[in-house]
Structure 1
Amino acid sequence: MTASSTRRTTAARSRLAAAGAIAVAGALLLTGCGDQTKEKNNDSGSASTSNAPLADKLPQEIRSKGKIRVGSDIAYAPVEYKDSAGKVVGLDPDLAAALGKQLGVTFEFQNGTFDALLTGLRSDRYDIAMSAMTDNKNRQEGVDPDTGKKVGEGVDFVDYLTAGVSIYTRKGDTKGITTWDDLCGKKLAVQRGTTSEDLAKQQAKKCPSGKKLAIEPFDDNQQAQTRLRSGGADAVSADFPVAAYAVKTSGGGKDFQIVGDQVEAAPYGIAVSKTETQLRDALQAAIDAIIKNGEYQKILEKWGAQDGAVKQSVINGGK
């Protein structure tokens, strides 16, 4: 994992994480999609309301069910993805497991395409969406970033991390790309509904006549990588943690390289329906609790995302 269901989309603010620190941390970082199948996060399955300090903050309906249904694009390593055994792993599942201990419930991850997660939230398929989703005003207000028109009810975000957006190319074949302006006249692959797609659309409007930026959107970042690897695109844009993971792991580190600097630092947020204020506030309290007890920092360090750490959770901190 835009207001029109963007991962990671809209007005253009994405995510930050210091390239050097994440690379040094060997961050295992990301992407993909799938049908709406349930993917239970086994690590969070031990949650129990009997010894959970924040259980009473949850809505009674969720406490009774003992679980929170999480809509997520489980193909965005290292934020959420399936390991070789088919288990859902990553930064978000680990954070969810820690939150589950505080709240006394299991976070049950359900796989879906990123650009449909907010729709699933509105239709009550999910209780929350947690999928490296950028918190921004368009999503908060339910506005399509392309048309500026209202497309549905907005959502509230419980922010928990900061990240930026990066560009990567085939290794040794950068096509002279170091900035977003250099993409004019090139072909860029992105994941549909993400901040990267929004930024690409904005850049395309700035390109001079005769140097059109061709944007190729895909359902997931893995498909975009395949397109780049085959030579069908000149570059891919993705959240920095995802880009760093792709560069580190694809072809044993021989396929890709990051070019230029990260842009548009912005918060990742857990999306919650605006009517579910009690659930929203319970999640915020749980995030603050794991920040205070040190679990949060350990999880971020495990996945090389510590430079995106926040000191406390806020509601709707995106702009």
Structure 2
Amino acid sequence: MTASSTRRATAAHHRLAAVGAIAVAGTLILTGCGDQTKKDNSSSSAAASSAPLASKLPTSIRDKGVIRVGSDIAYAPVEFKDSAGKVVGIDPDLAAAMGKQLGVKFQFQNGTFDALLTGIRSDRYDIAMSAMTDNKNRQEGVDPDTGKKVGEGVDFVDYLTAGVSIYTRKGDTKGIASWSDLCGKKLAVERGTVSEDLAKSEAKKCPSGKKLTIEAFDDDQQSQTRLRSGGADAASSDFPVAAYAVKTSGGGKDFQVVGAQVEAAPYGIAVSKENTQLRDALQAAMNAIIKSGEYQKILDKWGAEDGAVKESVINGGK
């Protein structure tokens, strides 16, 4: 999800982690029976010792064997729960591949998208990996609505490129083919995302008597439900998510993408600016799986190959 602040001009998805504390919706925690401290520590040490990039991690994380990942796990195909309740998708698969390089497990914890960066600041998470668009506002801790600095910002390890799309009910486009066609219409979006930012920007351009009504929801699934039921004329999300919804919802009979992607921008793994060692270790792991070909196989699996990058960079968003 591209987090707020221009997500696509070629499409820049993306959910914007809004400033302000919002309670985390839920957390997936690792549990076990009995005292497994010795077992867990020995397992972590064994995994780390055999991993090629383990030495790049901060000692505290390497010893613990776990990287805590804040993620809004309702954004298929990037991250979501399958019918068995397992967390799956592009981000979990990439994280698992990186974990083999680093000798650690990536533990995904569910939270509302616009509270993920707050979770890093409060040490709830080590990183945020949630289809989050890397942009200057997030890097600098600036509120996109006010232009004022509200936090220290984060660094991003970029790993995919995506843009923002609009989609409607299939066969019922309401004449919508671009953002400028939304005036006088009702649009469903996920709160705190680039889609919401773009909608707010477009609403300011609408003529008198043709107001763009924006309905913002906690997650993308709620936005899709609103559109499916006829409560909105269109919805917007990152292109990979919109394309997946079009392909899978109602067996492909519910939705259709209209117009082209806009504001293409990189997805990034968000890391505290104080944790440069973890940031650099993640970049090294991402570049290792890109070089090995495992990265491409994962994107192909989820139909996201068009967003592939040749190299992971730090803070490549504009």
| TM-score normalized by the length of structure 1 | 0.89
CA drift at 1:15: 6.9
Match of 1:237 in 2: 236
Q: Distance in 2 between matches of 1:36 and 1:228?
A: 25
Do structure 1's residue 167 and structure 2's residue 166 form an aligned pair?
A: yes
Measured against aligned partners, the alpha-carbon deviations of 1:228-275 in whole angstroms (never above 9, x if no partner) come to 111111000000110011111111111111101111100000000000
Match of 2:72 in 1: 73
Match of 1:37 in 2: 27
Is 1:11–1:138's contact at 8 Å kept on the other side of the alignment? no
Is 1:163–1:240's contact at 8 Å kept on the other side of the alignment? yes
CA RMSD of aligned residues (A): 1.7
Is 1:15–1:239's contact at 8 Å kept on the other side of the alignment? no
CA drift at 1:79: 0.3
Is 1:49–1:55's contact at 8 Å kept on the other side of the alignment? yes
Structure 1's unaligned 5+ residue stretches are 2-6, 18-32
Is 1:16–1:266's contact at 8 Å kept on the other side of the alignment? yes
SS at match of 2:85: coil
Q: Distance in 1 between matches of 2:24 and 2:190?
A: 14
Alignment of 1:18-37 (within 5 A): 35-37=25-27
Q: Which runs of 4+ in 1 moved over 4 A?
A: 14-17
Is 1:69–1:126's contact at 8 Å kept on the other side of the alignment? yes
CA drift at 1:149: 1.0
Structure 2's unaligned 5+ residue stretches are 13-22, 31-42
Q: Distance in 1 between matches of 2:209 and 2:266?
A: 36
Measured against aligned partners, the alpha-carbon deviations of 1:45-73 in whole angstroms (never above 9, x if no partner) come to 99911211000000000001100000000
SS at match of 2:98: helix
Do structure 1's residue 289 and structure 2's residue 288 form an aligned pair?
A: yes
Match of 1:272 in 2: 271
Alignment of 1:1-319 (within 5 A): 1=1, 7-13=2-8, 35-38=25-28, 48-319=47-318
Structure number with greater Rg is: 2
Give the paired residue count.
Answer: 295
CA drift at 1:282: 0.4
Is 2:8–2:261's contact at 8 Å kept on the other side of the alignment? no
Q: Distance in 2 between matches of 1:16 and 1:236?
A: 15
Is 1:163–1:265's contact at 8 Å kept on the other side of the alignment? yes
Q: Distance in 2 between matches of 1:141 and 1:14?
A: 21
Is 2:7–2:163's contact at 8 Å kept on the other side of the alignment? no
| TM-score normalized by the length of structure 2 | 0.90
Percent same amino acid at aligned positions? 82
Q: Distance in 2 between matches of 1:181 and 1:15?
A: 15
Q: Distance in 2 between matches of 1:164 and 1:240?
A: 6
CA drift at 1:174: 0.4
Measured against aligned partners, the alpha-carbon deviations of 1:12-67 in whole angstroms (never above 9, x if no partner) come to 337759xxxxxxxxxxxxxxx97231166xxxx99911211000000000001100
The amino acid of 1:37's aligned partner reads T
Q: Distance in 2 between matches of 1:203 and 1:193?
A: 16
Alpha carbons of structure 1 residues 271 and 264: separation in structure 2 relative to 1, 3 Å? same
Q: Distance in 1 between matches of 2:237 and 2:3?
A: 9
Measured against aligned partners, the alpha-carbon deviations of 1:186-216 in whole angstroms (never above 9, x if no partner) come to 0100000111001111111111121111111
Alpha carbons of structure 1 residues 299 and 72: separation in structure 2 relative to 1, 3 Å? same
Is 2:157–2:279's contact at 8 Å kept on the other side of the alignment? yes
Q: Distance in 2 between matches of 1:166 and 1:196?
A: 8
The amino acid of 1:218's aligned partner reads F
Q: Distance in 1 between matches of 2:47 and 2:267?
A: 27
